[in-house]
Structure 1
Amino acid sequence: MTFQDMLLPAIEDEMRAVLTRLNGPRYAEMQAMLTYHLGWEGEGAGPKARGKRVRPLLLLLTMAAAGGRWE
């Protein structure tokens, strides 16, 4: 198992958890916009539309390379 295989699901889970906390009518438009831009909904959604994971992945890989715990 590569670091990418291990880290990307953790990144995805955390981003979904953050968006789940934005519930209620006050945040409906923001949540819709973010789910679209994260590639979870809308035209072109799916695994290939997930480029927003590169920066978090680089951060966690850097942390692991420096001997830190990424969790």
Structure 2
Amino acid sequence: MFNGIDAFVWLTQMNVQGGSELDPLIQHRLGKELFLYNKLLRFPLKLSTNPDDLYDDSEPTSYAKKTAKEMPYVYT
């Protein structure tokens, strides 16, 4: 949770067509899977301690950079 927002739910809502219409528990679980492919997502999870950072100027999380691999399937 970041500022009251579940990061995994956010990943699903931003990267899966119709993702915001899914049950919140499914959004959370799907978001966990998407996090493994964070670097390859259109809107990857990016964390920063700088409140002035802009989304496009921040790099994806370092964990995701280390674990990113080719996606075996595509969510649509």
Normalized against structure 1, the TM-score is what?
Answer: 0.30
Give the number of the structure whose residues are more often helix, by fraction: 1
Normalized against structure 2, the TM-score is what?
Answer: 0.29
Higher CA-based Rg: 1
